[in-house]
Structure 1
Amino acid sequence: MISLEKSDIFRVLVSLIHAGLKKSRCSSDDILPTASYTDKTPITVGGLEADSIELLSLAGAVSRMFCLHESGIEDYLLRYKTLGDWVEIVHQGMSREKIVFSTSGSTGSPKFCTHSWQNIEREIAGHARIFANSRRIVAAVAAHHIYGFLFTAALPRYMNLPVCDYCSSQQKLMPGDLIVSFPLYWQYLNDIISHFPEDCCGVTSTSPCKPDLIRSLIFKRLCRMTEIYGSSETGGVGLRHDHTQPYQLFSYLKKDAICLMDEMIWEDDTHFYPVRRKDGAVQIGGVNVFPDAVAQKISTHPSVKECGIRLIGNENDSRLKAFIVLSDGISYSPETRRAISEWLYTHLSAPERPVSLTFGAAIPRNDMGKEQDWEI
C-alpha cells in the first residue's frame, strides 16, 4: 500500500479544511489563505477561527475521509486543535485498507465514495508508467477530491517526486514538470503563459476541455495534454493523449463491470466518448452543480415566489442564469434586485451563483407546460 507521509496528509487536510470553511461561510474572503497554513496553525481561535459548529463539521469530514472511527481516535480531533495535531492523528489512525472521497458537487446531497487502497495503488501504478519522465508535480487542483488526491498526493509519493502548488509557491515552471489542473484553470494558464519550459506535460480532468484550448497550450510548447475521465464514484476510468481520439479504458477495467455517471458512445469494448451526465448535474469550473437544487434554494428567499435556472455559455465558460418571479405583494425595483443579489452572494457558492437575473410575472413555458429558455 502507498504509505502517505505527514507532508502528504498536510496537503490533503489543508485542502479539505479550506473547502469546508469556504462552504460553511459561502465565501473565502475571511478565511486564512492556504499558503499561510502551517503545522502550528490553530483550527479555532487565533488561526482559522472555526466556531464550534464548524469544528464538528471539519472533524467529521477528516474522520470520514480517513476512516478514523475504525481506530477509535476520531474524538482526538476535538481535543487537539492545531493543524499539526490533526496531521499526526490522521497519520497514526488512518485506515490502511480504504479511503472515502466526497463528490465535488456544490449543490444536492454529496455522495461518499469508498475506495480501497489496493485500487488506488493500481491506478497510480499505471499513471507512474505513463508519466515516468516527470521530474516534479505542479498542483493546481484541490487535493481532497479524488482526482487531486491521486495526482498531487498519492502519485508524487509513489514516484518519490517533489510536489508544489502553482498558485502559492511563486516558483516558475521548470523543464519536466507535470502540471495537474482542470479546464478553467488551464484557460487561466493559457492566458498568462507565453510558452512552457521543455518537456512540460499537462493533465486535466473534472470536466471537458475545449479542443481549441488544448491546441493553444500545445502551440505554446506544452509537450502533451492527457485527459483523464473518471468520477468520485469510479476513480479513473480511462484517458487519452489526443483530444481528437476516444478515451481508452484502463486495462484492468471491463466495460460492463463499471457503473458510469455519464451516457457513453462506445466504439468498441475499450474505447469510448462521454456524452452527457445521467443525474442532471452541470459542471461549472470543474464543480458539479444541480440546477434544480439551486432553483429551490433561491426560492427560499422571502421575496421570491418561483425561480427557474438555466445554463449559459459553453464548456469552460459556462455559468448559470436565473428567472425570478417575485412573491405576491413585492414589486420589482432596483433595490429589490440589489437585495436579492446580495442574498445570493452570501447564500450560494461561486459555481452556484447565477451571473444573470431576469425578473418576470411567470417562468417561461412551452405549449406543453414545460419550462423553456429565455433571452437575457
Structure 2
Amino acid sequence: MKAFVIPRERIARIIAALAAEELGARFKRHVDFLTLAGWSEETPLGAGGLALSKSERAACARRAADFFGLDPVLIDAAGAERLADWARAAEDGATRSLTVMRFTPAGRDSEREACAHPADEVFADAAAAANLLYGRRRMISLVAPHGLLGFSTTVLTPNLLRIPCLDARGLSPDALGETLAFGDVLVATPTLWRYVIREGVLAPDNAMGVSFGEPMTSDLAAEMRKAGFGAIREFYGSTETGLVAWRDSPDEAFILFDCWRRDGEKMLRRSPSGAVRRVKAMDILHWESERSFRLGGRRDGAVQVGAVNVFPDRIAETISRHRFVESCEVSADGRPGGITRLIAHIRLNAEIPPTEQTAREIDAWCRTQLGSHERPRIYHFEAEPLRRDDEPSA
C-alpha cells in the first residue's frame, strides 16, 4: 500500500479544492482559479486565507471527511487553524482505514449526493492509468486533484510510477513552457489544452499529453501534435463510473480497461475484491466490438462547459425565478475549436424593456444563483417562447 500513500502536501491541496467547490455550490461564494492555486498547507482556515465562517467551516470539513471516508469530527478538531491541520487529520485517518471514498460530480448543486467508490477500485483505476503512462519521468498537472479521474490519475498514478507530480495550476503559460522537460506528461482537460496551445506552449522531446473530462476533438489533437506532444492519451470515465476506457486519437474508438466488459447496453466492472457490479455509462455508447465503442450524447441532458457537466433545464428554471423573467430556455452553442457557450433565451415580463441594462441585471443576479460554468454567456430576449427544437436566434 506504500504506493498509495498520499503526501500531506497533496492532501492539503485536495482539501483546498474540495473547500472551494463546496463554497461555490453551497454558499455561492466564488474562488478564482489563481487564488485556489495559491492555497497550500500553510493557508489559514480563517482570516488571511480561506476566511471560513462557522457554517462554511463545518460544511468544508464535512466535505473533506466524506472524501476520505472519515468522521468530520476527526477533520475539524479543536484548534485547527491551517489547511495543514485538516490534512494531518485526514492523513492519519486514511492511513488507518481507507475503504470507501466519495467523489461529487463537478457542477452539481448542493443537494446532489456524492458517489461512493470502494478504495480498491479507485486504486485499480490508478494502476490502469499507470500502465499507459509507463516510462514518463515526471507528471505536470493542470487539473484539480479532487475529482475521481483527477485523483486517480494525478495523485495515485505518479506514486505507482514513482515519479514526481507538479501541480502547475498556478503557473503562467511562459512558466509552464519553461517547466516542461524531456519525458514529461502534461495532464489537462480539452478546455485547458486549448488554452495551452493558444498561448504558444511548446513541448520538449518525448513529451506526452493526457486528456479527460470532455471529448477530445481531431483539430485539437492535431494542434497538440504540432506543439510537440507526439504521444496523446485520452481517458474516458465519470465520477459515477470511475475510469472506463482510453484511446490514442479522436478518430479511434475507446478501448475498455481490463476490469470492464460489455453487458448488453450496460457494462460490468470487476473489482480487485472479486465483486462485480453492473453499470450504465453516463453517455450513450455506440459499441463497435465487445471491448470498443464510440461516444454518443449524454443520457441525462447535461452539456459540458470547461469539463464541468451543467444542466440547461435546471439553469433555465433558475433564471425563470428572476422578477424580470416570464420564461426562459437555455441552449448550448458549440463554437469552432470545441468551446461551448450557454445561451439564455428569455421572454421578459410585459413591463420590462429588452435593454442591455436588463441583461446586466439578470446576469448580476445569475452570479449569485449559479456556478461559474452555469452562467450563460449570451442573453437573447425573445418575443415569443423558444420551442426546444428551434435553432438559437442570431
TM-score of the alignment, normalized to the shorter chain, above 0.5: yes
- In the alignment, the residues of structure 1 paired with residue 118 and residue 91 of structure 2 have an alpha-carbon distance, to the nearest angstrom, of 17
Give the secondary structure class of the aligned counterpart of 1:60.
Answer: helix
- In the alignment, the residues of structure 1 paired with residue 13 and residue 61 of structure 2 have an alpha-carbon distance, to the nearest angstrom, of 16
Are residue 223 (structure 1) and residue 230 (structure 2) matched?
A: yes
Are residue 203 (structure 1) and residue 224 (structure 2) matched?
A: no
- In the alignment, the residues of structure 1 paired with residue 215 and residue 88 of structure 2 have an alpha-carbon distance, to the nearest angstrom, of 37
Q: Is the 8 A contact 2:325 2:349 kept in 1?
A: yes
User: In structure 2, which of residues 104, 107, 112 is the aligned counterpart of residue 105 of structure 1?
Assistant: 107
- In the alignment, the residues of structure 2 paired with residue 76 and residue 165 of structure 1 have an alpha-carbon distance, to the nearest angstrom, of 25
Q: Is the 8 A contact 1:108 1:293 kept in 2?
A: no
User: In structure 2, which of residues 59, 62, 65 is the aligned counterpart of residue 63 of structure 1?
Assistant: 65
Shift of 1:45: 2.4
Shift of 1:269: 0.5
Which residue identity does 1:290 align to in structure 2? F
Give the secondary structure class of the aligned counterpart of 2:245.
Answer: strand
Are residue 373 (structure 1) and residue 376 (structure 2) matched?
A: no
Are residue 7 (structure 1) and residue 28 (structure 2) matched?
A: no
What pairs up with 1:33-44 in 2 under 5 angstroms? 33-44=35-46
Which residue identity does 1:166 align to in structure 2? A
Residue in 1 that maps onto 2:190: 183
Percent identity between the two aligned chains: 29
Give the secondary structure class of the aligned counterpart of 2:41.
Answer: coil
Which range is displaced more, 97-106 or 323-332? 323-332
Shift of 1:100: 0.8
User: In structure 1, which of residues 306, 311, 317 is the aligned counterpart of residue 339 of structure 2?
Assistant: 317
Residue in 1 that maps onto 2:92: 92
User: In structure 2, which of residues 144, 148, 160 is the aligned counterpart of residue 146 of structure 1?
Assistant: 148
Shift of 1:106: 4.3
Q: Is the 8 A contact 2:13 2:40 kept in 1?
A: no
What pairs up with 1:244-259 in 2 under 5 angstroms? 244-256=251-263, 257=268, 258-259=279-280
The unaligned stretches of length 5 or more in structure 1 are none
Question: Aligned residues, how many?
Answer: 369
Residue in 2 that maps onto 1:27: 30
What pairs up with 1:226-241 in 2 under 5 angstroms? 226-241=233-248
Shift of 1:358: 1.0
Which residue identity does 2:87 align to in structure 1? V
TM-score by length of 1: 0.91
- In the alignment, the residues of structure 1 paired with residue 161 and residue 49 of structure 2 have an alpha-carbon distance, to the nearest angstrom, of 34
- In the alignment, the residues of structure 2 paired with residue 125 and residue 36 of structure 1 have an alpha-carbon distance, to the nearest angstrom, of 29
- In the alignment, the residues of structure 1 paired with residue 152 and residue 334 of structure 2 have an alpha-carbon distance, to the nearest angstrom, of 30
TM-score by length of 2: 0.87
Q: Is the 8 A contact 1:321 1:354 kept in 2?
A: yes
Which residue identity does 2:81 align to in structure 1? K
Shift of 1:328: 4.3
Shift of 1:67: 1.3
Q: 1:112 to 1:240 in 2, by over 3 A?
A: same
- In the alignment, the residues of structure 2 paired with residue 44 and residue 32 of structure 1 have an alpha-carbon distance, to the nearest angstrom, of 18
Q: Is the 8 A contact 1:198 1:221 kept in 2?
A: yes
Shift of 1:194: 5.2
Q: 1:32 to 1:25 in 2, by over 3 A?
A: farther
Q: Is the 8 A contact 1:26 1:348 kept in 2?
A: no
Query: Deviation per CA, 1:190-232, whole angstroms, max 9, x where unpaired?
Result: 1123531011101111111110110111122202111101011
Q: 1:269 to 1:41 in 2, by over 3 A?
A: same
Give the secondary structure class of the aligned counterpart of 1:255.
Answer: strand
Shift of 1:107: 4.9
- In the alignment, the residues of structure 1 paired with residue 309 and residue 110 of structure 2 have an alpha-carbon distance, to the nearest angstrom, of 9
Which residue identity does 2:86 align to in structure 1? W
Shift of 1:77: 4.7
The unaligned stretches of length 5 or more in structure 2 are 269-278
Are residue 163 (structure 1) and residue 181 (structure 2) matched?
A: no
Shift of 1:317: 0.6
Q: Is the 8 A contact 2:332 2:343 kept in 1?
A: yes
Residue in 2 that maps onto 1:212: 219
CA RMSD after TM alignment = 2.1
- In the alignment, the residues of structure 1 paired with residue 352 and residue 59 of structure 2 have an alpha-carbon distance, to the nearest angstrom, of 37
Q: Is the 8 A contact 2:347 2:381 kept in 1?
A: yes
- In the alignment, the residues of structure 2 paired with residue 313 and residue 47 of structure 1 have an alpha-carbon distance, to the nearest angstrom, of 37
